[in-house]
Structures are given as structure tokens and as C-alpha cells.
Amino acid sequence: MDGVALKILLGDRAKYIGLIFGIAFSTMLMSNQISIFAGLMLRTAGQILDAREADIWVMDPRVEYVDEIEPMTDMQLERVRGVDGVDWAVPFFKGLTVAHTRDGMLQQIILLGVDDATLAGVAPRLVLGSVEDLKQPDAMIIDRAGFQFMWPGEEPGLGKVVELNDHRAVIVGISDASAPFTTYPVVYTKYSSARNYVGRTRKQMSFVLVHGQPGLGTHELAQRITAETGLTALTWPDFAWATIGYYLKRTGIPVNFGITVALGFIVGAAVVGQTFYIFVLENLRQFGALKAMGVANGTILRMVLLQAMVVAAIGYAIGIGLCAGFFEITSRVSINLRGFELPWEVAAGTACTVLVIIVIASFASLRKVMVVDPAIVFRG
């Protein structure tokens, strides 16, 4: 009877299209908004995720997230290096400053200073230049989006000169650094240069990046560093989640996106539920006739569920395809929208939510079909 169920479904074109539209709209809205939300949250932790070499981030105990800086003295770096199990520990500077271009443009930038000797913590992907070039005097690496901000319309290139706090800096590399939460250019330079660019003070070290010795768990090492230095030491995933958690708690972003996602769910469930209910209701006599002719309730149940699942599968495929297409197009339209994509986890989660929607939508209809008296067909 599966074929009959599908013919009944396809036979009512208007409702069939309405059901698919409802599911596709709901899928598109939910997956799109959750993906943008996830992309935004990942942006908050972009600089942590880019410092691939560091197992552990060490910071002042008052620091809650990566954008909240409480500088430490260089003495703290030595204390961390002295902890048993630390393979290496390097300073890391993070701050904001203003860059001036030769043509007079002014641009706020995120300035990241990495260890002069090892360059540990620099963005791993360079589209132009070499990380080693950062060791040259006055060298800096800027991200591709930042370059386009500062020199709109120009192809990314090396050798451009900017002025940072009256100091000359030359672009020796273009990185593909993760997009930051703000849209400021992300500039990497040596730790010593970064201190010059912002002006030297007694305490300037934002973080200590630590790599543990092989065989020692990073959580265990982090606890040991905290115990021995009194500083906060977090593994990079923990620090990334702490940063994301801060934005979740302290901003209205989750509420804003949550409302839209909830709307997608409610609208989807309402549209699909109502349409499916009407569809089943209009076919109730036919279902009654089938029951009279000896179709078991289990078969009827299977027919209705098959109709629901087909609608859900087609609607979901269209919706998720539209969502993926949206991100594909927007990533080409503007480099500032890079990093927004459809993660498989969101696609899978949306599939589960669509399943919930279709179960809700089917539930009322199923009940109606299951209790329909086959004698209905004898009532003219």
C-alpha cells in the first residue's frame, strides 16, 4: 500500500507543495540562523583557534575571555616556564591600536604579538609571504580581509607600509586568519614590536602560551600551572568555550537568534501540522473505505507516516540545500562573511528538529485516522 499512499499524497498537488514549502522554509530558517549564530560564536574564539601550537593559555585570574586583557609581568612567564611538565612557554600580546596608511586612512586593528624567537601563536595559514619574514625589523602580517579594509579595491600584496603609534611597520605576509568577532584587521607582529607599537609599560604580557611535554595530559598540566603560579591556565578548547560562554551569557545574541530559530520551528510546525491535518481530514472517507475493505490500522498508520516522511525528506533536502547555497553565495559576495558555513552538526540537528515537527504534525492526524469508524463510509 506504500505506492497507494504516495499516489494519494502526490494527487493533492496544492497541499503536497504546501507541506514541502512549510518544511523547506522551516529547515532553511532554522539551519541558517543556527549556522550564523555558530559562526558568530566561533569568531569570538578565532584567535585562540588560530594559535595551534599552544596547548594551554595562561592568564591573570581576573580574565574571563580572550578579549578581556589584564596584563601580566614578564616574571610570570618565568614562573610558568618553571612548572614541571612545561615543554615551552612563550609570551603573547593582544591589544587594540590604530594603524595609519600613507594615504591618510585610519583603521583600528587587533594587534597580536608573538614570541620573537619561536613566532609561536601566529596564524598558521599564509596566502602571501612567509611566517619567517616576521623576524625582519618592523615586519607585520595582516589578514586578507584586513588588507581589503585598509586598501579597498587593491589586490593583496606585500611591502605596504603603515604607521602604528608613530612606528613604521611593513607588511611581509598576508594571512588567512579566522575572522574576528569585530571586523577589525588582525595584525601579527613580534612580541617586542607589539610592545613598541602600543608604548612600553611595566605590565604588557596578555597571555602565556604553553606547550606541554609529551605524555602529560593538558588538563593535568593546566591544573599544575594554576596551583604553582596562582594564574588561570586553561586548555585551548576550555578557553575557547569560556570565551564563547562569556558572549552567550553577557550579550543578547543567543536570545535574538533563539527567537528566530523558535519562530522557524513554530511556523514550520504550525504550517505543516495544519496542512497535513487538513490533508488527512480530507482523505478521511477514503481511509475509512480502506479500513472497511480490510486494511489494518497498522497499514493505515504506515501509509500516513510514509506520506509524512516523504514530505519531510523532500522539504528538508530543499531547505538544507537552500541554506548551503546561501552560505556559498554570501562567502563569495564579501570576504567579511567568511567563516559562515553550514556545519554538519547543524544539518544533522535540523534534520532531527524536522523529524520532531513532522511527528507533531502527524500526531493529531494519525489519531484522527486511527479512530475513524469504517462505518463512516455508510453515512451518505
Partner 1 sequence: MTDPSIAVRCSGITKSFPAGDGTVEVLHGIDFDVPAGELTMLVGPSGCGKTTLISIIAGILTPTSGEVEIGGSLITRMSDAAKVTFRRNNVGFIFQQYNLLPALTAAENAAIPLVVAGIPMAQAAGSAVAILERIGMGAHLGKLPNQLSGGQQQRVAIARALVHAPRLIVCDEPTAALDAEAGQTVLEILKDAALAPDRAVIVVTHDTRIYSFADRIAAMEDGRIRAIRTAPFAPVSEAA
Q: What nine digits make up the cell of 173?
A: 605576509
Cα–Cα distance, 57 to 55 (Å, whole number): 7
CB-based contacts of 183, cutoff 8 Å, min separation 6 = 145, 149, 336
**Residue with smaller CB distance to partner 1, 292 or 324:** 292
Min separation Cβ 250 and partner 1, Å: 56
**Residue with smaller CB distance to partner 1, 11 or 325:** 11
**Residue with smaller CB distance to partner 1, 172 or 311:** 311
The CA-atom distances, in angstroms, between 181 and each of 92, 163, 292, 336 are 19, 24, 63, 10
Min separation Cβ 311 and partner 1, Å: 15
* Length of the chain, in residues: 380
Min separation Cβ 372 and partner 1, Å: 12
Helices (H), 45-170: 46-50, 74-81, 144-150
Min separation Cβ 283 and partner 1, Å: 8
User: Residue 228, CB half-sphere, CA atoms under 13 Å: how many?
Assistant: 18
Scanning the structure block, which residue is given the C-alpha cell 472517507? 285
One-letter identity of residue 167: H
**Residue with smaller CB distance to partner 1, 7 or 62:** 7
Q: How many CB atoms lie within 10 A of CB 314?
A: 15
CB-based contacts of 172, cutoff 8 Å, min separation 6 = 129, 130, 133, 134, 136, 139, 140, 141, 158
Min separation Cβ 266 and partner 1, Å: 31
**Residue with smaller CB distance to partner 1, 236 or 287:** 287
**Residue with smaller CB distance to partner 1, 104 or 380:** 380
Helices (H), 113-235: 144-150, 191-198, 218-229
Query: b vs e for 109-126, b when ≥16 Cβ sit within 10 Å of the residue's Cβ?
Result: bbbbbbbbeebbbbbeeb
Min separation Cβ 6 and partner 1, Å: 9
Min separation Cβ 219 and partner 1, Å: 59
Min separation Cβ 366 and partner 1, Å: 18
**Residue with smaller CB distance to partner 1, 153 or 380:** 380
User: Residue 45, CB half-sphere, CA atoms under 13 Å: how many?
Assistant: 22
**Residue with smaller CB distance to partner 1, 7 or 102:** 7
Q: Is 308 helix (H, G, I), strand (E, B) or coil?
A: helix
317 membership: H or E segment, kind and range: helix 297-333
Q: Which chain residues interact with partner 1 by CB under 8 A?
A: 1, 3-4, 7-12, 285-286, 288-296, 299, 373-375, 377-380
